Structure 1
Amino acid sequence: MFLCSGSLIQAQDAEGFYVEEPEFNARVYMLEAGKSHRDTVLLVHGLGDSGSNDWSDVIPALAKHYHVIAMDLPGFARSEKGNHLYSPTRYARFLKWVVDQYSSYRNQRPVTMIGHSLGGAIALRYASMYPETMNKLVLVDAAGILHRSAYASAAVHHRRNRLSLLNMTSTRPKEIGQWLGDLIISSENVSLPVDEVLSSPRMRALFLRQKPSAIAALALLQENFSRAIYELHLPTCIIWGENDGVAPLRTGRLLYARLNSSSLDVISHANHIPMKEQTAEFNRLLLHRLTQTTETKNQSEGSFTAVKNIECVSQKNMHISGSYHDIFINKCRGVKLENVTARNIHIDNSDVDIYDSQVRSLQTGIVVRNSTLTATALDIYAETGISTSASKLDLAGVSIQSNKEAVISSGGKQSTALISVSKFQNGYIHGIYKFPDNKN
């Protein structure tokens, strides 16, 4: 049963109250339930007007077993709003104050943090900054992990409005939505320095109308989580809606592949808010994962035996899995390589998706010519990682360990690579890159 509080609701056994917090110097609405339990679970909501109400169907289930803390983040719902930089890092510092003041960590018992959408990104940033305070991390359809231009591509692919991420906010002025949408679609063409807009109260007022949801969305899209993902060793449960068009499932698969100790559960017939759309299944999975031990994955190279080749010539929608010596793809559309291990992959005049695969070569791992390559959670161990000519690459969570270059251009024609949270050699890569001809 729930009680109304204005246009929002709260669990009957939960206690709602206001506090003054120091990070934004704001009055914040807090919610506590299950106070008799020793271990604390913190719930962090996403963009939108609902705030902590996003968790209204989850709190009663959790409160039977845990001390539950939820809040309306500063700038959202019942909490005080202002013209502040509402970034994941600042929200993480705010949450550290909450943990220190109200959670079981006061008694040296680490907490579990569950974040949805924007809240998932905030929880991930918090975990990277304060891992010693945490027992477990839960990411639910976390947004803002891929490079912002990759989100634009996903929106087109899912035939969603290009402002799908921003439509989760209460921002109404059309020009703000259009400006942010243009930033997502083609950020490299924005003449305004985005970091300067975010850091300046005057610029936030001028271009973002001091709207916390717009500021938070833009700050999220500027964030780079590469180091947090590759270096975090905290047990992490990932729960995702199968049909999420805001934070595509590709993101969940990337997180599962790159977080060293993680699990992934995909909820069928759910979109971006699975705890509302498939509540019973979400609560079942969540409670199960909170009591389970998440094993650390072995991410070593390993070994494999490949004695055969496979080719795709002038075909559509071919699905390839298994171990091969060489994979040849020429004039094919909609090819998917999933759970593949190969010595070499050759792609010509084709569009190809690669998921959860590995290439180990004594030469060049992947050769891409006049093609479109989308790769997620791909490992390449080779003399040279990728050789590309006149192609478009979309690489997310790709790790390349090479003796020479990670990516080179060949054939005299330029290629463009959109790279999200990837690791080439020992460096983290997150941005848009152009590869000229490598003649020398």
Structure 2
Amino acid sequence: MIRTIFALITVMLCAHSAHAGFLDKFGAIIDTALAPTTTQTKSELITAVAAEHKLPAHWRSYWLSEQTHGTRIFLADAGKTNAPVILLVHGLGQNGLRDWLSIVPELEKHYRVIMIDLPGFANSPSPKIKLSPTYYADLLHFVKPYFSNKPISVIGHSMGGAVTLRYAQRYPADIDQIALIDAAGILQRTAFVKHSATDRIPVNPDFVPNALLTYAVGLQDFSNNLIEKMLRLPDPTSLLGKSEIAWGTTLQSYPNINAALSLSEEDFSSAIFEQTRPVAILWGSKDLVAPPRTGQLLAANLATSELTVIESAGHVPMASHAKEVSQWLLASLNAQPKSISKTTLENSSTKQNYECNHSTGETLKGSYARITLTECTGVLLDGVVADELVAIDSVIEIQNSHFSSGQTSLTIKKSVVMMTGSTINGLVSLDQARIDFAGVKLTKDTPFKVNARSRLVLSVSRAGNTRYLHSDLQLENTTY
């Protein structure tokens, strides 16, 4: 019967997809028809046997029924029950809470450690809903009172890092401190796919000859351009997105896909820029899943945050570097919040101009009045303070930099610019440009002046004080 219903739904969707309002109305009908009718009552923790789930025998484990969506949640905890509580939130993959096995022995000496198999993962069955970070954040809020009536510390890994950010935003009274480990899903989808598919090109000419570096950067940029064009095609999940229940029912048997697609849809700009809790950030430098660039943008924009990098670690440092992660967590949770140091802007009269012509692999640091790059490839601006940047026929990367001109701060013509965790006071003028901004603060409410057609990939950035930018756009002859 269900298959017949969804076959009919598919035919109807295909027949009417051209009508903009139909999908919204149809989604509402689906949600109304299939919405749960049960009345939520207070659930009780039911003791489970840890050994049956291949967990240490001294751990306590439980089942908890979540009535709203009719699913059961598997949980475990270790440590003294009267100790301060920390909640560990895992990422994608069917290990679930077992991802934390290697670091719990140290943590349980000092804390009551709560772990959860999020619905759809490991022991917790998958409900017929969209497994979004927002849903999981609401679930953590539901679970938390069973273990503490005081604010707790929450540690999220990978997708669990994104869930933790959303949880802290929606229920700030629940949380005392936050720690993020290789948080995934923060970058806008196009930026994430480009970075994952092409990786980073080294920009040090001491290790890569200029001719080879020029070729490699050009090849990478060509690949990025192809990916950008591919991701401009219609999104195959857009039909399901009109109804969360249709989404969840269709993808119930594929929780990893369900959660991954849901993660890629959410914008965490407000959760990052409005966060006031202390945030400790840990990253593996060799992470191929959640690019270290994400850690940089988080550290640049989260209040009282600090980024620690384990040089030889990948995406799951708990498994490869358990001792280092345990020590980092214990130190971070007991540390006093640190204030963020502000960049000191030098008087423009003391700064020099810089020009690059037909060069490869340059790295700039320090303060400048005006930086002009003409046909320069693989240029890195790291921690630069400048009034103005002009890029013509160039490929450059910028991180943790500040452009202070109140008029036009950046002029980008026939160039590719990737910028992370930086600040721009003036306008950004684009002319046949491609930009990829992540965690960038733009002082002006309408910061972009687009002349000839340009591509803007914007991840968790902000224009003015309240306008968040998280999208993939192609614009021309306009302001934005």
Q: In which range does the TM-score fall when normalised by the shorter chain?
A: 0.7 to 0.9
Unaligned runs of 5+ in 2: 1-48, 201-225
Match of 1:416 among 455, 466, 472: 455
> Residues of 1 paired with 2:283 and 2:87: CA distance?
19
2:285 is matched with 242
Match of 1:49 among 94, 115, 118: 94
Q: State the SS of the aligned residue for 1:74.
A: coil
Contact 1:422–1:429 (8 Å) recurs in 2: yes
Two-structure CA RMSD over aligned residues (Å): 2.3
Correspondence list, 1:19-168, <5 A:
19-103=64-148, 106=149, 109-158=150-199
CA-CA distance at 1:279 after TM superposition: 1.2
In structure 2, do the counterparts of structure 1 residues 195 and 296 end up closer, same or farther at CA, with 3 Å as the change threshold?
Answer: farther
Distance 1:183 1:33, change over 3 A: farther
Question: Which runs of no fewer than 5 residues in structure 1 stay unpaired?
Answer: 160-181
Q: TM-score, normalised by structure 2?
A: 0.80
- Using the alignment, how far apart are the partners of 1:190 and 1:205 within structure 2? 22
Larger deviation: 128-137 or 194-203? 194-203
Q: Distance in 1 between matches of 2:237 and 2:153?
A: 36
Q: Secondary structure of the residue that 1:99 maps to in structure 2? A: helix
| The one of 441, 452, 456 aligned to 1:399 | 441
CA distance in structure 2 between the partners assigned to 1:126 and 1:380 by the alignment = 30
More strand by share: 1
- Corresponding residue to 1:251 among 294, 310, 316: 294
Q: Secondary structure at the match of 1:150?
A: helix
Shift of 1:22: 3.2
Note the 1:136-215 alignment, pairs <5 A: 136-158=177-199, 186-192=230-236, 194=238, 196-197=240-241, 199-206=243-250, 208=251, 210-215=253-258
Given that 1:198 and 1:215 are in contact with CA atoms closer than 8 Å, whether structure 2 keeps it comes out as no
Question: Cα distance, 1:289 vs. partner?
Answer: 0.8
C-alpha contact (below 8 Å) 1:149/1:186 kept by paired residues: no
Q: 1:76 to 1:374 in 2, by over 3 A?
A: same
Q: Deviations over 1:321-351 (max 9, x none)?
A: 0000111111111100000000111111110
Q: 1:380 aligns with which of 406, 419, 424?
A: 424
Matched, 1:437 2:477: yes
Give me the whole-angstrom Cα distance separating, in 2, the residues matched to 1:150 and 1:14. Answer: 41
Given that 2:131 and 2:248 are in contact with CA atoms closer than 8 Å, whether structure 1 keeps it comes out as: no
Which position in structure 2 is the counterpart of 1:366?
410
User: Retained in 1: the 8 A contact 2:70–2:127?
Assistant: no
Structure 2 letter corresponding to 1:258: N
**Deviation for aligned residue 1:285:** 1.1
**Residue 129 of structure 2 contacts residue 247 of structure 2 at CA under 8 Å; is this kept in 1?**
no
Instruction: Tell which structure's C-alpha radius of gyration is larger.
Output: 2
Identify the residue that residue 313 of structure 2 maps to in structure 1: 270
Distance 1:189 1:266 in 2: 36
Q: 1:98, CA displacement in angstroms?
A: 1.1
Change (3 A) 1:153 1:368: same
Alignment partners' CA distance in 1, 2:74 and 2:229? 35
CA distance in 2, matches of 1:100, 1:4: 22
Measure the CA separation in 1 of the matches of 2:235 and 2:292: 31
Q: Residues 285 and 337 from structure 1, CA distance in 2 versus in 1: closer, same or farther, beyond 3 angstroms?
A: same
Residues in 2 aligned to 1:203 and 1:114: alpha-carbon distance in whole angstroms: 28
CA shift, 1:203, in A, is 4.7
CA deviations 1:113-145 (Å, max 9, x no partner) are 000011111011000011111110011111110
Pick from 291, 296, 304 the counterpart of residue 346 of structure 2: 304
Aligned length: 403
Which amino acid letter does the alignment assign opposite residue 190 of structure 2? Answer: S
Q: Which amino acid aligns with 1:58?
A: I
Q: Displacement, 1:205?
A: 4.2
Residues 229-285 of structure 1 deviation map (CA, whole Å, 9 limit, x = unaligned) = 001100000011111111100000100000011111011111110111111111111
AA of the residue aligned to 2:391: I
User: In the TM superposition, what is the alpha-carbon distance from 1:193 to its structure 2 partner?
Assistant: 5.5
TM-score, L = length of structure 1: 0.86
What's the % identity of the aligned pairs? 33
